[in-house]
Amino acid sequence: MATEEYPRAVWRLIVHDPADGPANMAIDEAIAARVREGRVPPTLRFYAWEPACLSLGYSQPAGDVDFERLRARGWDVVRRLTGGRAILHVDELTYSVVVPMDDPRVAGSVIESYRRLSRGLLTGLARLGTPVRADAAAEGAHRFRGPVCFEVPSDYEITARGKKLLGSAQTRRGGVILQHGALPLYGDITRICDVLAFEDRAAREAARQRVRGRAITLEEVLGRRVPFVRVADALAQGFADALNLQLEPGELGRSERALADELRVTKYATDEWTRRHP
């Protein structure tokens, strides 16, 4: 796989224990704030969610959610800082990249930066023996407006066997890029349809069939279940190899933890943020 040449750079690598949805989104924003201030280095983070959590895109209507069904299953809900459609975060690995916009690895447009960062993801997944690719979306694909991220085609999404394996979203604020994405490791990829709002049972089942036909888990691709830690290690090495990075294991600093705790309480855990009408 041909890759572009980048100057050697040092990024921080964080592998986190599972956290709830508001905490995970608050941590991503806190890292972005401190990278923007130059207080911490560019950061690659891998994390999981506990309990399962439905995340909405920044501008997605809260009306897409059936909150009664969500509560009945004991699942969380949170609104992301990034765009896109709903994702059910369960049995997955989530990655986030926070880097200044002047880094050549994210130079240019959103689509161009997606393409560059996808090289790290592709290289890492290849280390697991996963036959994957990332292409520009087909003409007219962006007009599809379903509520589920994994049934919506996007540019340079990661696919396997013609189905979406890893979906990503990005935001740019104050000269810093935050991109994060979800890699379903195993389980029923259609479970998200159980907690979204549909007109009737037939519409719910139709959405379930669309998701089943357009999305896939890593276990389905490989025919075996790969532990979270093994996947995180492979993806980290993929980023290092494809983007010429030295990844230094680290953890959140005191100021990041304090800001994340504040953002969780005042923003991401509130109905004002989660259920707002963009």
Catalytic residues: 149
Pairwise CA distance, residues 278 & 265, whole Å: 21
Give the DSSP per-residue string, the chain.
--------EEEEEEEPPPB-HHHHHHHHHHHHHHHHTTSS--EEEEE-BSS-EEEE-TT--GGGB-HHHHHHHT-EEEE-SS-S-BEEESSEEEEEEEEETTSGGG-SSHHHHHHHHHHHHHHHHHHTT---EEEPPPTTGGG---SBGGGS--TTEEEETTEEEEEEEEEEETTEEEEEEEEE-SS-TTGGGGGB--SSHHHHHHHHHHHHHHB--HHHHHTS---HHHHHHHHHHHHHHHHTEEEEE----HHHHHHHHHHIIIIITSHHHHT---
Task: Note whether 155 and 216 are within 8 A (CB).
Answer: no
Q: Which amino acid is at 51?
A: P
Q: List the structure tokens of 260.
A: 């994340």
